[in-house]
Amino acid sequence: MSALDHQRMVTDLLDEGLLQILRALGATGCTGSLAVASAENAGVIFMEDGWVVDALVTDGSWLGEGVPAVAFLANLIYPELEFSEGTDFSRRTIRLDMDRLEDMVEQVRPLLLSSEQTSSNESRDTALTPHPETPADGPDTTAVAVDEPDAEPNTVEEAETPQAEEEEPVDAQDLFTTLRSVIGYMAAAIVDDSGTVLAEDSTGGAVDLGTFSPVFAQIFRLTRETTAEIGLGACTELTTATPFGTIIARCSATNPPEYTLCILAPRGNTALAKLRLDAYLSTSGNRP
């Protein structure tokens, strides 16, 4: 098939979605690239002999590569697609048949949607917040008499006015509430040393906390024992980075310890999540 035939195929299947388009192109054994673009995002998917071998998100609210990039591009609504023949690429980050690729994309999609929705909500809230120097109902146009002396500031009252501070999380529900404002937050759990889930929270059910939490508690426990045996002391924090997200775990100072776990989507704000976990351990008296 010619490049024109491939482009016609892409156009005819546009309503079927990106994954079905990739499957149809793959059936032809084509080699080339499929450019995907929407109003705010853009990327490209590379194919070789009918196999999807690489993908990049090159512009937009999320940048990435590999399977997560395919998932991100598949989430775009009414994108423009353009197929080009040729092998102007050298990387091959994806080595999956189409069935396996679709399965992995469907697993990653909820993570990216969760991250994008949280980021979008924060941007919207920021945009709706009035400028601190401008009242919400418009500027103050009240006339001021020029012959009146300037009022002296009440420095005593101003000095005694307490500054508003963010409340520190003191229990599990407070912790979950503060974590939900972190970009990319997906789920969190507090697990005891035996693997029993004491409290849990999830934004969309994308993570099976009942299965995941006990396994990760065991990993943390073995890591603590190992670091203590080699003379480094029992570790108090464990961060696991994956192509599809990040798991942050903190250990309490209690005996036996409890493990506080937080799961973030790709590009989640790990620094802020760690601060929230640290604040919880500090105020709950469990900081290691």
Question: Is residue 47 predicted with pLDDT exceeding 80?
Answer: yes
Question: Is residue 242 predicted with pLDDT exceeding 60?
Answer: yes
142 band by pLDDT with thresholds 50, 70 and 90 = very low
**DSSP string of the chain, one letter each residue:** --HHHHHHHHHHTGGG-HHHHHHHHHHTT--EEEEEE-SS-EEEEEEETTEEEEEEEEESS--EEHHHHHHHHHH-SS-EEEEEES-----------HHHHHHHHHHHHHHHHHHHHHHHHHHHHHHHSPPTTS-TT--------TTSPPPPP-HHHHHHSPPP-PPPP-SHHHHHHHHTTSTTEEEEEEEETTS-EEEEEESSS-S-HHHHHHHHHHHHHHHHHHHHHTTS----EEEEEETTEEEEEEE-SSSS-EEEEEEE-TT--HHHHHHHHHHHHHHTT---
Evaluate whether residue 127 is within a structural domain: no
Same domain, 176 and 111: no
143 band by pLDDT with thresholds 50, 70 and 90 = very low
Evaluate whether residue 125 is within a structural domain: no
Question: Is residue 132 predicted with pLDDT exceeding 50?
Answer: no
Question: Is residue 280 predicted with pLDDT exceeding 70?
Answer: yes
Same domain, 181 and 266: yes
Q: Which residue has the higher pLDDT, 168 or 177?
A: 177
What the block records as the tokens of 122 is 């924060």
Mean pLDDT score, 269-288 = 77
Mean pLDDT score, 228-236 = 89
The torsion angles phi and psi of 165, rounded to 5 degrees, stand at: -125, 145
pLDDT of res. 35: 92
CATH number at residue 255: 3.30.450.30
Q: Which residue has the higher pLDDT, 273 or 207?
A: 273
Same domain, 15 and 93: yes
Question: Is residue 167 predicted with pLDDT exceeding 90?
Answer: no
Evaluate whether residue 138 is within a structural domain: no
Same domain, 107 and 189: no
Same domain, 8 and 111: yes
Evaluate whether residue 60 is within a structural domain: yes
50-61 residue pLDDT tens? 999 988 888 776
CA proximity to 164, closest of 127, 139, 132: 132
Evaluate whether residue 91 is within a structural domain: yes
Evaluate whether residue 143 is within a structural domain: no
Question: Is residue 153 predicted with pLDDT exceeding 70?
Answer: no
Domain that holds residue 61: 3-115
In terms of C-beta density within 10 A (0-12 exposed, 13-18 middle, 19 or more buried), how is residue 54 classed?
A: buried
pLDDT of res. 133: 44
In total, how many domains does the chain have? Answer: 2
Mean pLDDT score, 262-287 = 80
Evaluate whether residue 158 is within a structural domain: no
Percent of the chain whose predicted confidence (pLDDT) is above 70? 74
Question: Which of 115, 139, 156 lies at the terminal end of a domain, its last residue?
Answer: 115
Question: Is residue 245 predicted with pLDDT exceeding 60?
Answer: yes
pLDDT of res. 21: 93
Question: Which of 115, 134, 160 lies at the terminal end of a domain, its last residue?
Answer: 115
Evaluate whether residue 27 is within a structural domain: yes
Same domain, 34 and 109: yes
Mean pLDDT score, 188-204 = 85
Measured CA to CA, the distance from residue 256 to residue 250 in angstroms comes to 14
Mean pLDDT score, 88-93 = 73
Question: Is residue 122 predicted with pLDDT exceeding 60?
Answer: no
Question: Which of 115, 133, 149 lies at the terminal end of a domain, its last residue?
Answer: 115
Same domain, 180 and 77: no
For the chain, give the mean pLDDT.
Answer: 76
